[in-house]
Amino acid sequence: MLFEEQTLKTALVEIEQDSPLYPKAWLDLPDRPERIYALGDTSLLKDKKFGIVGSRRTPSSALKTGESIAKTLSEYFTVVTGTADGGDTAAIEGALAGTGKILCLLAGGFSSYPRSQQFLLERAAERGLLLAVYPYETEVRAFSYEYRNKLLAALCEGILVLGAGEKSGALITAKYAKEQNKPVFALPYPPSSAAGVGCNGLIKRGGCLTETAQDVLEVFGITSTQKVKPTLAGDEAKVYEVLSQSVEAHVSELSTATGIPVFKLRAILSALEVKGCAASLGGNRYGVV
């Protein structure tokens, strides 16, 4: 396996400050890392980058939105995030569902990657890039996360926060992005949502209210005109075809038209939502995206 200790150590690429691969955005930082350690496609270090972060407690609906946004943005940027569950995972999954251009910045050395995320990080390393600014054996320390968040903000042309409580680490990343005059984006939340109070605060203070990838692309002057036909098969393809013909439909109507039981349809519709092919319109009605 890729993440076995000896295999991992051998596969790491060490990049010094004088290397053309060393991020130019870090060269002006007084506390820049002396060297970095990379696993995967190092050519992504030269690509334009956009950061997507979020709390571990980001609601599932926001995570689905984040995956969809990351998938689209991966067509135009390398998506940059951390390695945690929640918002980071949504960014990784979305980018992997798109072009695969994903860069995950670790908080410690490669020996300290979160074991619960091993399978996902191996997938990210196979198609994208994992990056550490500490030697292999370095453990994650209290200050490591804020330093990682500062470096992440510096790498990116903008930062999107999918979910953030009042004291979320995602807000630290947004703070550094704002200090560096980078645009900050945030998903909107109901006023009563504790999981989104940080996002609403960012929007109140001038952050860009973001519901779709187009909200981000417009800020950078990018017009998304290309419609990519989803790759679907089996029951997913059948449901998508019916939705495409009817524009929107009730779950019971879909069940009748496809012959798929309602209990099974709900799982299929959820999968289509994650893939950015369908959207819930409320009242058990769904439409194509």
Query: Burial, 225: exposed, middle or buried (Cβ in 10 Å; 0-12, 13-18, 19+)?
Result: exposed
At 254, which amino acid appears? L
**Pairwise CA distance, residues 121 & 93, whole Å:** 10
Query: Mind listing the pLDDT tens digit for each residue in 126-142?
Result: 999 999 999 999 999 98
pTM listed for this prediction: 0.78
Helix locations, the chain, DSSP H: 5-11, 24-27, 60-73, 87-97, 118-127, 144-155, 169-179, 197-204, 213-219, 234-246, 251-258, 262-274
Position 107 scores a pLDDT of: 96
Confidence of residue 229 (pLDDT cuts 50, 70, 90): low
Q: Checking DSSP bridges between strand 159-161 and strand 49-53, what pairing results, if any?
A: parallel
Cβ-Cβ contacts under 8 Å for 49 (sequence gap 6 or more): 77, 78, 79, 80, 103, 155, 156, 157
Query: Mind listing the pLDDT tens digit for each residue in 31-73?
Result: 999 999 999 999 999 999 999 999 999 999 999 999 999 999 9
Q: Are 148 and 27 in contact (CB under 8 A)?
A: no
Position 224 scores a pLDDT of: 64
Q: Checking DSSP bridges between strand 184-186 and strand 159-161, what pairing results, if any?
A: parallel
Average pLDDT of the residues in 168-182 = 95
